């Protein structure tokens, strides 16, 4: 027993860090399959299984707004196992790698305690967990960005050509995963390049090597990505009536948007009071950053990271407000509160600790110190709300539950109409049920084949996600014709299941 106590005392930091990573894994893995795969995930699932040899995968990717790397990697991942559980587990793996990068970055900048605290805070972000649990290219982008930030810090500590190569490749990987990462990647690359070129004690050989490496990455990676993907995608997916709008209105939320983005990540923006609160926090962060640049005794790397954070934000903000980036529909932008902003996660993890911790240490004014403490306390309060929100998880589709009902009620004996985006989920989850036979799909039809004037005597209506107006139209028509309607589930957009018999 005494030996155990001695071991615990001697290795308490390692044990505590292990517990933090266990908690980090838990929040990502908890109820991983609580929600069935939904529309966007089905696109990724089936696109990734398209043939590389025939060029089908390439044709699928150029029909989207995303680069090819996620689908290329997932193509081989799904060859190991094609279940939904394995599909989603990929993001858990890269989520853990992201945690390692963030931990090592904060440990290099500060110490183990700070690294553990930041990792816990990230683990309790509702949107972080959502980003990991929904299969898309965003999690892959984040791991590359987190790695690029880590090696940027490492290169400042001690330059090596190996680390520089890894830094460049990670930057490339981020852009090849999601185009939005360029908001962080381009300033990061520019800062590093200028530092090396104008470094007083830097050798000419190093400057030449850095320049050649940058040129090589541009030729080998940037030009092909633009020519074979971005150029083609922009041509195929051009948004009609796209207009760039200038005016003073674009500056309206420039000092408050970043705070409200934090509130979004921690699901604390549900009321006007929260929005006002986060706007105030945002202004405090801006003022605190300016004061730190002017009066704070920050190391060069911390100043660079802060400058990188605000540079990425300003570029992103202006392009969104000018209706150049994050366009969802003509003249409608997704703004800062959608998944288009996930690239901020690695930046937040280094910038916010610098602002709060260094701000509290640098300023002797009691008012300033209380301001930083209040901001930190508000953050802890949000962690509390966010953690309990993510424990409840979410449901964006119910096809897995519908499959159990349909099979138990022997739905294959009657006609089944698939409405909205139900086809993928229906075929996948029904085929995974025990006792399934391919013959069960013979009486299954899309909503386009519903003839309201000649409805069968018995039929199912299975609706999921987009579209779905035909569900209610058919249900009302059946009731008018005297059908007995049994509604098994009516969760609106998420999913609706009904059985009609005459």
Same domain, 160 and 295: yes
Same domain, 308 and 229: yes
Residue 110: other Cβ atoms inside 10 A: 18
Cβ(436)–Cβ(408) under 8 Å?
no
Is the pTM value of this prediction over 0.85?
Answer: yes
- Render pLDDT for 158-182 as a digit per residue (tens, 0 to 9): 899 999 999 999 999 999 999 999 9
Domain finish residue from 392, 415, 440 = 392
| Total domains in the fold of the chain | 2
Range of the domain at 431: 399-501
Q: How far is CA 172 from CA 64, 169, 177, 349, in A?
A: 19, 5, 9, 21
When computed from its CA atoms, the radius of gyration of the chain, rounded to whole angstroms, is 26
Give the per-residue pLDDT at 265. Answer: 86
- Render pLDDT for 197-256 as a digit per residue (tens, 0 to 9): 988 877 899 999 999 999 999 999 999 999 999 999 988 766 545 566 666 767 888 999
Domain finish residue from 328, 359, 392 = 392
Give the separation between CA 407 and CA 388, rounded to whole angstroms.
34
Domain finish residue from 367, 392, 417 = 392
Residue 312 has pLDDT above 90, yes or no: yes
Same domain, 404 and 352: no
Same domain, 289 and 431: no
Same domain, 85 and 234: yes
Same domain, 185 and 286: yes
- Render pLDDT for 177-210 as a digit per residue (tens, 0 to 9): 999 999 999 999 999 999 999 888 778 999 999 9
In this structure, of 38-52, 73-87, 120-134, 259-273, the range with the lowest mean pLDDT score is: 259-273
Q: What is the DSSP letter of 222?
A: I
Cβ(420)–Cβ(463) under 8 Å?
yes
Same domain, 218 and 348: yes
Give the per-residue pLDDT at 240. Answer: 47
Same domain, 375 and 464: no
Q: What is the DSSP letter of 251?
A: G
Give the per-residue pLDDT at 243. Answer: 63
Give the per-residue pLDDT at 433. Answer: 95
Same domain, 313 and 353: yes
Residue with tokens 């005392």: 9
């Amino acid at each position: 027993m005494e030996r155990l106590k001695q071991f615990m005392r001697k290795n308490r930091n390692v044990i505590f860090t292990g517990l933090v990573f266990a908690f980090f894994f838990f929040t990502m893995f908890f109820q991983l399959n609580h929600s069935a795969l939904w529309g966007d995930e089905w696109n990724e699932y089936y696109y990734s299984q398209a043939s590389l040899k025939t060029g089908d995968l390439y044709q699928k990717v150029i029909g989207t707004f995303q680069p090819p790397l996620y689908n290329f990697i997932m193509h081989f991942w799904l060859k190991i196992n094609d279940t939904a559980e394995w599909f989603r587990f990929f993001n858990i793996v890269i989520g853990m790698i992201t945690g390692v990068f963030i931990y090592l970055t904060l440990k290099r900048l500060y110490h183990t305690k700070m690294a553990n605290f930041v990792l816990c805070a990230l683990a309790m972000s509702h949107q972080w967990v959502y980003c990991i649990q929904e299969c898309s290219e965003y999690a892959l982008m984040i791991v590359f960005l987190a790695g690029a930030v880590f090696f940027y810090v490492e290169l400042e500590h001690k330059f090596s050509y190996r680390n520089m190569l890894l830094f460049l490749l990670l930057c490339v990987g981020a852009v090849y995963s999601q185009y939005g990462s360029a908001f962080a990647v381009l300033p990061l690359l520019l800062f590093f390049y200028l530092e090396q070129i104008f470094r007083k004690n830097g050798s000419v050989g190093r400057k030449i090597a850095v320049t050649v490496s940058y040129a090589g990455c541009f030729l080998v990676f940037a030009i092909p990505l633009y020519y074979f993907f971005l150029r083609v995608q922009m041509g195929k997916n051009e948004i009609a009536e796209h207009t760039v709008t200038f005016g003073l209105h674009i500056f309206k939320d420039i000092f408050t948007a970043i705070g409200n983005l934090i509130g979004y990540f921690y699901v604390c923006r549900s009321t006007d009071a929260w929005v006002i609160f986060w706007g105030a926090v945002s202004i405090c962060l801006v003022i605190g950053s300016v004061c730190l640049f002017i009066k704070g005794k920050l190391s060069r790397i911390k100043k660079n990271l802060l400058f990188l954070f605000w540079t990425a934000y300003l570029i992103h903000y202006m392009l969104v407000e000018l209706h150049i980036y994050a366009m969802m529909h003509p003249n409608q932008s997704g703004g800062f509160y959608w998944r288009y902003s996930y690239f901020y996660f690695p930046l937040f993890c280094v910038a916010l600790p610098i602002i709060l911790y260094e701000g509290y240490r640098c300023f002797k004014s009691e008012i300033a110190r209380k301001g930083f403490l209040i901001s930190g306390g508000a953050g802890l309060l949000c962690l509390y709300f966010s953690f309990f929100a993510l424990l409840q998880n979410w449901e964006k589709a119910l096809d897995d539950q519908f499959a159990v009902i349909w099979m138990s009620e022997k739905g294959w004996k009657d006609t089944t109409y698939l409405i909205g985006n139900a086809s993928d989920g229906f075929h996948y989850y029904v085929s995974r049920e025990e006792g399934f036979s391919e013959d069960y799909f013979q009486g299954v039809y899309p909503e386009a084949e519903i003839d309201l004037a000649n409805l069968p005597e018995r039929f199912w209506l299975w609706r999921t996600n987009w579209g779905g107006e035909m569900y209610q139209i058919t249900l009302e028509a059946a009731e008018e014709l005297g059908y007995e309607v049994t509604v098994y589930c009516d969760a609106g957009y998420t999913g609706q299941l009904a059985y009609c018999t005459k």
